[in-house]
Amino acid sequence: MAGPTPLERKTGVQFSVPLPTFSLNEKEAARAKEWLEEHSKKHIHRRHLGEGRGGTISYEFTPTGIGDAVKVKCACGGSVDVTDFDSW
């Protein structure tokens, strides 16, 4: 049996079910990359936007029961849904 996870060690709480993990498939990654390239042309990223907050780009995963919806967000407020509905 595996030892405690980093989160379990940090919190002292043992989880009885595994925490979910999320990833982008190839289509979602390609869509995200395309949007990020276009978005960077329209928006001047300032390094200070991400300091202390984990960066200027975040990925939001929403489990739906039939698949995971994926949204890419910028600290400026811009976002795009890159969900590959064909994989559901």
The per-residue pLDDT for range 28-47, each reduced to its tens digit, is: 999 999 999 888 877 665 55
Dihedral, 74, 79, 83, 84 alpha carbons, nearest 10: -90
Q: Is residue 3 part of a domain?
A: no
Domain count, the chain: 1
Q: Is residue 1 part of a domain?
A: no
Q: Is residue 62 part of a domain?
A: yes
Q: Copy the structure tokens of residue 1.
A: 């049996």
Q: Which domain holds residue 81?
A: 28-38+57-88
Q: Is residue 46 part of a domain?
A: no
pTM value? 0.68
Q: Is residue 76 part of a domain?
A: yes
pLDDT band at 59 (very low <50, low <70, confident <90, very high): very high
Q: Is residue 2 part of a domain?
A: no
Q: Which percentage of the chain shows pLDDT scores above 90?
A: 45
